[in-house]
Amino acid sequence: MYVDVSHVRQGGKTYTRYLLRESYRQGGKVKHRTIANLSGCSAAEVEAIRLALRHKDNLSALGTKQSEIVIKQGLSYGAVHVVHEVARSLGIVAALGTTRDGLLGLWQVIARVIDQGSRLSAVRLARAHAAKEILGLGDFDEDDLYANLDWLAKQQPDIEKFLFYDVTSTYL
């Protein structure tokens, strides 16, 4: 098997066609059979097929390329997004506001729902989750969260008034 490349020039444009073909003999003559049209593939994909065909007897030799591949875990998005949407629908987002202190307070609420722990664990949780991206927060550390607790304590009466509703007629 091999990749057959052909360039055709028509109307001032050059067209390239890639075919996966195999050669065989029939009646003493060499003939070619097309297995697949690879023209829709990208140049990188065609080159990968060529590489695989070159090493078809020893595909494990291609395994040496693994050292060039780096797998990296991205930030977790789902939990923060879901808790943020619930907080928004309950009015917690509006009650805390959009200031930095309000967003830090919201993160403390979300972090507590996702994983109970210290302020330091909330900072570490923000590094693994998309908290900064979803909430629009900049960098912060545990000292910022402890200072935010003072802000929350001062704002508590206003936040409670904003969130007050008749719990006897509401079931969550």
Summarize pLDDT for 68-97 with one digit per residue, the tens: 667 788 889 999 999 999 999 999 999 999
| pLDDT tens digits for range 156-171 | 999 888 888 655 555 5
| pLDDT tens digits for range 34-72 | 999 998 888 899 988 898 888 888 777 666 555 666 778
pTM: 0.57
Question: Is the pLDDT confidence value at 134 over 60?
Answer: yes
Per DSSP, helices labelled H in 58-141 are 78-90, 92-96, 100-114, 119-128, 131-135
Q: What angle do CA 18, 19, 21 make, to 5 degrees?
A: 150
Distance CA 152, CA 147 (A): 9
pLDDT at position 67, please? 60
